């Protein structure tokens, strides 16, 4: 192999080692770290972030990248790796090490403040740290540069190529097509779902969730599950991908959807080529594509009748009293109840996108400076009333419910909706290309779908852009019509058979 390319690989592996070391500390901070460790942990992560920045902007890396861009002997994959790394290098050079360390320290402080504020239902405990963080993100937009809206600079970090103007149009389509459809469902007699909020033992829920992950194909020899206040997936490379879940003994759905959702993320990470560790070809494409993997498993598979035809009897065996008298059909109806809700992570798959719309509008306004942090609780509450028709009783259930802003993750939320739309488009192709897929799911066999995703998505790493991958899989760019077609078919059928006695 080209000796210069080998040197380039070695440099990126060293960079990945430092970055993943910081990620391990972040994971521990959100799972097992004792409260008194917060101050030193923030400093440790800040130091590693600074080291990673120095490696990513070293003169040696810049020189070898420039040299490799002129090398015609490289394979197409190697050329794409070099181009992506050079783009990353030029972006990183716009930051000073001091700025990176300052941002890392601010994020650690904001995370600790958010935890205290949420626990105490007191936004004022969080506001000063968040205000500092928003100020740094605004400064970052100017460092990076943009041609349209300053928010574009942040979007590009999570969904490369995404523009505020395009997302504004997309969410306008969501409003024009989804709002009336949801209103139509709301006007129908609603399904009974109170039994989902009976008592469900924590350990039994945990054990059932582990079974769901194993069924999906999650490799516990290359990962583990733990508890956290906000479920997440973190990767230290494809051979160590960890998930967390949240368990409520009065809400069965929290654990179920956390396990399936995070399991979808983890399968993507575990499916990336281990031989490409540290290189773009060993990384995920974008957060929209990443989210497509979790949403495909959670919604297109996990909220369908075929999945529960197999899994409900197992669930009922864990909780015979709480699920007494229920059937796979009644459970399927209950988990697909559509109603406005306070908490994004517990929202149904349709009104969920109104939660994202609210966050998108707030973030865009925060970054452009048309609103300020101190006004967030009132603005948040007003938007929930406008879009979802509900009153927000507390800040903990409102503006403090998400962890993302405490991580500085402005520009992240839109990828959740993009993921659902990609998922519907990809799954429609899976149904076309995998013979008897739904029948296999009914039998509890998820391997055909997992194998299809390995082939179509995971193995490519970042070889394709999100748009290129979408075209590669479906023959066209992202098209909202697939999501609406999926939603209409499912919910028209669901509410039509609601009063019938025949089986789903």
Q: How far apart are CA 48 and CA 11, in angstroms?
A: 16
Task: Single out the residue of 29, 42, 81, 132 nearest to residue 372, CA to CA.
Answer: 132
| 52 and 46 Cβ atoms separated by less than 8 Å | no
Q: Give catalytic status of residue 321 as yes or no.
A: no
Task: Single out the residue of 303, 281, 285, 393 nearest to residue 347, CA to CA.
Answer: 303
Q: How far apart are CA 467 and CA 292, in angstroms?
A: 13
Task: Single out the residue of 142, 44, 58 nearest to residue 92, CA to CA.
Answer: 58
Q: How far apart are CA 344 and CA 103, in angstroms?
A: 27
User: Buried b vs exposed e over 440-458: b needs ≥16 C-beta within 10 Å?
Assistant: bbbeeebebbbebbbebbb
Helical ranges in 121-237 per DSSP H: 127-144, 151-158, 164-186, 202-216
Helix (H) or strand (E) holding 318: helix 305-318
Of 262, 276, 283, 363, catalytic = 262
Per DSSP, the residues of 394-446 read -STTTTTS-SGGGGT-TT-THHHHHHHHHHHHHHHHHHHHSTTHHHHHHTT--
pLDDT tens column, 197-245: 999 999 999 999 999 999 999 999 999 999 988 899 999 999 999 999 9
Indicate the DSSP class of residue 198.
S
Cα angle for residues 434, 443, 244 (degrees, 5° grid): 90
Q: What is the pLDDT of residue 495?
A: 84
Q: How far apart are CA 182 and CA 389, in angstroms?
A: 13
Q: How far is CA 416 from CA 276, 294, 420, in A?
A: 27, 10, 7
This prediction has a pTM of: 0.89
Coil/strand/helix, residue 280:
helix
The label of the residue with tokens 């990962």 reads: 223
Cα angle for residues 217, 219, 225 (degrees, 5° grid): 105
Residues for the chain: how many in total?
504
What are the chain's domains? Answer: 3-145 (1.20.58), 164-499 (1.10.1370.30)
Q: What is the pLDDT of residue 1?
A: 61
Q: What is the pLDDT of residue 497?
A: 41
- Which portions of the chain are predicted below pLDDT 50? 497-504
Helical ranges in 32-163 per DSSP H: 38-56, 59-68, 76-92, 97-120, 127-144, 151-158
Helix (H) or strand (E) holding 12: helix 3-31
């Amino acid at each position: 192999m080209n000796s210069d390319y080998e040197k380039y690989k070695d440099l990126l592996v060293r960079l990945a080692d430092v970055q993943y070391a910081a990620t391990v500390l972040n994971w521990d901070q959100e799972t097992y770290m004792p409260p008194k460790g917060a101050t030193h942990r923030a400093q440790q992560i800040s130091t590693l972030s600074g080291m990673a920045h120095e490696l990513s902007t070293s003169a040696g890396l810049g020189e070898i990248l420039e040299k490799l861009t002129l090398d015609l002997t490289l394979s197409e994959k190697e050329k794409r790796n070099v181009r992506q790394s050079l783009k990353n290098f030029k972006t990183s050079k716009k930051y000073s090490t001091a700025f990176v360390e300052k941002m890392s320290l601010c994020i650690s402080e904001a995370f600790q403040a958010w935890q205290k504020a949420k626990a105490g239902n007191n936004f004022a405990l969080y506001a000063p740290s968040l205000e500092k963080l928003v100020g740094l993100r605004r400064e970052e937009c100017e460092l990076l540069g943009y041609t349209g809206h300053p928010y574009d600079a942040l979007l590009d970090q999570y969904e490369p190529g995404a523009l505020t103007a395009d997302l504004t149009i997309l969410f306008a389509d969501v409003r024009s097509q989804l709002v009336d459809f949801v209103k139509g469902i709301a006007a129908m007699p609603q399904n009974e779902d109170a039994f989902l909020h009976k008592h469900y033992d924590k350990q039994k829920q945990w054990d059932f969730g582990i079974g769901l992950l194993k069924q999906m194909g999650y490799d516990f020899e290359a990962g583990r599950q733990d508890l956290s206040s906000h479920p997440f997936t973190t990767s230290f490379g494809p051979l160590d991908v960890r998930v967390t879940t949240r368990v409520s003994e009065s809400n069965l759905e929290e654990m179920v959807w956390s396990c399936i959702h995070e399991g979808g993320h983890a399968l993507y990470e575990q499916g990336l080529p281990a031989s490409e560790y540290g290189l773009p070809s060993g990384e995920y494409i974008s957060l929209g594509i990443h989210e497509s993997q979790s949403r495909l498993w959670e919604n297109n598979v996990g909220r369908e009748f075929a999945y529960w035809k197999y899994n409900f009897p197992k669930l009922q065996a864990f909780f015979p009293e709480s699920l007494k008298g229920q059937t796979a059909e009644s459970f399927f109806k209950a988990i697909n109840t559509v109603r406005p809700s306070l908490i994004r992570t517990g929202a149904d798959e349709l009104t969920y996108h109104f939660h994202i719309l609210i966050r998108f509008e707030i973030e865009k306004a925060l970054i452009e400076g048309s609103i300020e942090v101190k006004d967030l609780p009132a603005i948040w509450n007003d938007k929930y009333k406008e879009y979802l028709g509900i009153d927000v009783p507390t800040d903990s259930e409102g503006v403090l419910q998400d962890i993302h802003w405490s991580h500085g993750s402005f520009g992240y939320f839109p990828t959740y909706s993009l993921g659902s739309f990609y998922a519907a488009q990809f799954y429609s192709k899976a149904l076309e290309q995998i013979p008897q897929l739904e029948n296999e799911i009914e039998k509890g066999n998820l391997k055909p779908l997992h194998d299809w995703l390995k082939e179509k998505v995971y193995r490519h790493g970042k070889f394709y852009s999100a748009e290129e991958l979408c075209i590669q899989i479906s023959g066209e760019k992202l098209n909202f019509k697939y999501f609406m077609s999926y939603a209409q078919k499912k919910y028209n059928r669901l509410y039509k058979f609601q009063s019938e006695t025949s089986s789903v």
